[in-house]
Amino acid sequence: MQALVRKKFVIYYKPEFAAGESVRLVEGMDFFTRDNGFSVYDTDEVGNMDWLDAINVGPLMVWRVE
């Protein structure tokens, strides 16, 4: 039996103002939805990331870590 492994991403948000930085670990693609402000293009781009890739999506930097 093969286990289904969910992709994991690190989301880094750095606004223009000091002390507004945040880092979040996201498991799976459930975070990258239209309700959270992501377009279909953004969701496809994140979904096709290889391990250890990094991309910018708006004010976020997204790393795929697993």
Q: How many domains does the chain have?
A: 1
Please list the rounded mean pLDDT of every run of 10 residues in the chain (66 residues): 74 78 90 91 92 88 90
pTM: 0.76
**Tell me, what's the pLDDT at 32?**
92
Domain ranges, residue 40:
8-64
Q: Give domain status of residue 1, yes or no.
A: no
Q: Give domain status of residue 2, yes or no.
A: no
CA atoms within a 13 Å half-sphere pointing along the CA-CB vector of 35 = 3
Q: Give domain status of residue 60, yes or no.
A: yes
Q: Give domain status of residue 3, yes or no.
A: no
**Tell me, what's the pLDDT at 20?**
76
